[in-house]
A and B are shown apart, each in its own frame.
Chain A
Amino acid sequence: MNRTTQAVRSRWNWTRNWQLHVMMIPAVILIFVFAYLPMGGIVMAFQDFKPWLGIGGSPWVGWDNFDKLFGQQDSVQVLWNTVVISVMKIVAGLIAPFVFALLLNEVRKMAFKRFVQTLVYLPHFLSWVILGGILIDMLSVDGGIVNRLLTGALGIRPIFFLGDGNWFRATVVVSHVWKEFGFGTIVFLATLAGINPSLYEAAVVDGANRWKQTLHITVPAMMPITIVLATLALGGILNAGFDQIFNLYNSMVYEKGDIVDTFVYRTALIQGNMGFGTAVGLFKSFIGMFLIVASYRMAYVWGNYRIF
């Protein structure tokens, strides 16, 4: 009996595996054409790229472009700023929608739930160009609504949100979370929708209250997707949000607010130095690759979970 099952199973694998490979074909081809073919352009990182000479004809400069990145006086500071802002964003950007999804999950009135959901994802659609302007108004030291509330309610001195390095970082992280948490909730809501209700029924039979149910059923069920999201976010750790910083920063917060991308923008992109841009991109890719592989291994070894 057991042996027949075994035999049947292996025949399955044998006869049906080809179907799985066939299903992969379209994506494999598209990725090859649109992702792998252009990767040849990575060689630009080692060139002084001139558009009229093309990738084939531009002069080779070895590691010059990388030297430029690390040779600048304050590039260490810029890298550090990027990592600090990025890590804070990743952490806060995961916790906020996670918690919000849990809270929303407790709402029993469907209409209210939908109402809230629709409203919180609105900021996602506003570009930083727009939001930058609005934020600068709202956070203004004299007359900005936030400072008016703070001085009125707490009686403290107005805070120079965009003019003080530490406050600037906080402002960047909070405004990022505010913009994206609603939209980020959607993935978690889909996960919540997928939890088998019979698990809760069983818990109720065991006498677990709502808090215990959340702790022992809901949260564990959301963990895998959270880890996946965190891992994928790590791949972009050196992307601290160019659009946002660029529209908010100013000379007063260069020291703590200047990130790799704004730095590259000022150094190279206005001059059209594609080679330097590619070199920075490649550097970012390797850091991201390292972090992703590391977290993939950790999740597999410690959690026995395959992230992808």
Chain B
Amino acid sequence: MKRKALWMSAASALTLAMLVSGCSGGGGNNGNDGQSSGPSGGTAAASSGASAAGDELPQTDGKFSPEATLTTVRAVGDDVKFKNGETIEDNVFTRWAKERLGIDIKYLWTTPSTNDAFKTKLTLSMSANEPLPDILEVSGADAHALIDSGKFQDAGALFDKYASDSYKKAMDEVPSAWMPYVRDGKRMAIPGIDYIMQHDDVMWIRQDWLDKLNLKAPTTIAELEQVMDAFVNRDPDGNGKKDTYGMISTLKENYNAWIGTGEIFGAFGAVPQIWEKDDNGDVVYGSVRPEIKTALGKLKEWIDKGYLHKEVALQDEMKASELFTSGKAGIAFGPTWLYDWPLQDVVKNVPGSVVKPYPLPAGPDGKIGQASEGTHNLVMLINKDMKHPEIYFKYINYLYDHYNDPEAGGEFEYGFAKGYDYDIIGDKPVFGADIPGGYIDPAKYFLGIPPRTPSIFIKTLADINEGKEPVTPYEKKLAQASTKQQMAAASIVVSQHQFTLDNLYTGAQTETMKDKWQNLKKMEITAFTKILYGNAGLDSFDDFVKNWYAAGGEKITQEVRDWYASVGGQ
């Protein structure tokens, strides 16, 4: 009797629950209706936009009048700092947008940038059928599902129609950036192009250790071994203890992290964890190439000899870099900015230490290789219901035209806003810590990634390093704000850029990847660590490769090759 009553109440509860979810389901259906009417609606909007320019919002003096509203959402990370009591909703940038462009920026919601908060909030918000913002910036990886939702419009067409020449010129430097987001010939997301080569690695070495032990910087893996041996066994820090390591590295999950190991593999001819071409020119997954086996054998030897910290498979980049900054390790592979942070701390912690960048060492066959980070991480999606996409382009065009590479005497000659990223004291511009009240980067308030011409940053640094006189405001600012080490590293990066391998697969997860990829990744990491720690012989690598292909790798490789061919890869 009681039991029956219990089930009754449970059943009625469930029915009611269904009713509630039915509500939301109804909402979802409405969304569906919108979607089915979408294509025609979309075309209508596009064609009307194309035919009658009169549909566009009225502008006077280069700004929208009356004011136009632009809605968006964003994650506000810890890197976004404020001064003068400003907030993300009301700050020097939002006021500028209103005054200069007549654009009123509205945030539907904001989240922290940790714990996948942004993604969670976006998922929840869509599930509850809350309105989507006009523009939405997400990571390239997350964009694919959103594109499939049919809630966004053909961004490529809008780009062609509205983007300014300077913006188009920047984008033309990296045409492949669009590739992952093409659906039926339409470019559904605008890649947030970033500086190229800024993540390419160089070899950072404690120069004072080299000098003390009377060594030369290594140019080959064999020389690197000798130097590491000296760093471990010849007491470079002079404390009489054998407590130093040759090199810091991370072999936890990501072998191409910002403290890299990829270049060690690369010296042997294959870079792990990216899709690359094998000797026959076919696309393959780097980690299963035979060259990896040789490199793994080398790394194992180095762990055994104490060149690498024994816990290198437990350490992430932060942990690894602590070894360097506390003066316990002498070599690190990392990008041009690695000296500015965190390696520079070693100078504070160990008086007299000097860190210098050197080119990547070559392997036994003279090979060099490392993974590229690609052209962009983020993309901009444009809501299908956004009636006036020109509002967004008005904003981004303006920044590409005037802020990206500012003209002398122009609005942004020294930076975005006086008192934030620069100030004028007397009649001289000051930057960084010299700004009264502290430096704040207003570009952090921008709608998405700031405008960036891919080639400009590292190339300019390298030029300045090689003695070119800075002329434009951009060059002057870089020359003043960059460390010598970073400039030197930039020259090295430019000279070795041909050895950087792009990840050839940039599409959405393939069907088989969705089910098998995490398992394959676990398999790979487990097999590698077993070899590195001597829990399995080097020959177990061959079994791993066989198992990898059998457990879905074969099919995925085929899918990747098909995709690569479909986007016109050779």
Contacts and interface: CB of A to CB of B under 8 A. Distances in A.
Interface of A: 32, 36-41, 43, 50-58, 68, 72-74, 136, 140-143, 162-163, 250-252, 254-255, 258, 266-267, 269-272, 274
Contact of B26 (A32, A50, A56): A56
A54 B27 contact: yes
Contacts of B551: 73
B555 interface: no
Given A39-B14, A53-B32, A251 B25 contact: no
Of B28, B31, B313, B521, most A-chain CB atoms within 10 Å:
B28
Give the top 6 A-B pairs by smallest Cβ distance, nearest first. Answer: A56-B25, A54-B28, A40-B17, A57-B28, A51-B126, A40-B21
Tell me if A's interface is mostly helix, strand, loop or mixed: helix
Interface in B218-260: 243, 251-253
A271 B514 contact: yes
B127 A39 contact: no
A254 B522 contact: yes
Interface of B: 13-14, 16-22, 24-29, 31-32, 116, 119, 122-124, 126-127, 129, 142, 145, 149-151, 243, 251-253, 309-311, 313-314, 319, 509, 514-515, 518-519, 521-522, 525-526, 528-529, 533, 551
Contact of B13 (A39, A57, A251, A252): A39
A37 B20 contact: yes
A78 B430 CA distance: 58
Contacts of A142: 309-310
B105 to A, nearest CB: 24
Contact of B18 (A40, A58, A266): A40
Contact of A55 (B16, B21, B123): B21
21 contacts: A36-B16, A40-B19, A40-B20, A40-B21, A41-B17, A51-B123, A52-B151, A54-B28, A54-B31, A58-B28, A143-B243, A163-B313, A250-B252, A250-B313, A254-B526, A258-B522, A266-B521, A266-B522, A269-B116, A271-B509, A272-B119
A37 B24 contact: no
A142 to B, nearest CB: 6
Given A52-B149, A56-B29, A251-B529, A43 B21 contact: yes
Given A40-B18, A56-B24, A272-B145, A254 B525 contact: yes
A38 B116 CA distance: 23
A57 B522 contact: no
Contacts of B126: 51-52
B525 A266 contact: no
A81 to B, nearest CB: 13
Given A162-B314, A272-B119, A54 B24 contact: yes
Given A39-B14, A74-B522, A136-B311, 5 more contacts: A52-B126, A55-B25, A56-B21, A251-B529, A252-B533
B127 A51 contact: yes
B314 A37 contact: no
Contact of A53 (B19, B31, B529): B31
A251 B525 contact: yes
B529 A252 contact: yes
Nearest to B145: A272
Contact of A163 (B127, B243, B253, B314): B314
Nearest to B18: A40
A57 B29 contact: yes
Nearest to B24: A54
A50 B149 contact: yes
A174 to B, nearest CB: 18
B551 to A, nearest CB: 7
B32 A251 contact: no
A250 B145 contact: no
B311 A141 contact: yes
Contacts of A274: 123
Nearest to B127: A51
A140 B526 CA distance: 20
Contacts of A40: 14, 17-21
Name, among A50, A51, A254, A274, the residue most crowded by chain B CB atoms within 10 Å (CB to CB): A51
A39 B521 CA distance: 34
A136 B323 CA distance: 14
A255 B17 contact: no
Contacts of B151: 52
Contacts of B20: 37-38, 40
A32 B26 CA distance: 22
A163 B311 contact: yes
Given A51-B126, A250-B313, A252-B529, A56 B14 contact: no
B24 A251 contact: no
Contacts of B243: 143
Contacts of B13: 32, 36-37, 39
B299 to A, nearest CB: 14
A43 B18 CA distance: 9
A255 B526 contact: yes
Contacts of A53: 28, 31-32
Contacts of B123: 51, 272, 274
A221 to B, nearest CB: 31
B21 A41 contact: yes
A269 B309 CA distance: 32
A251 B252 contact: yes
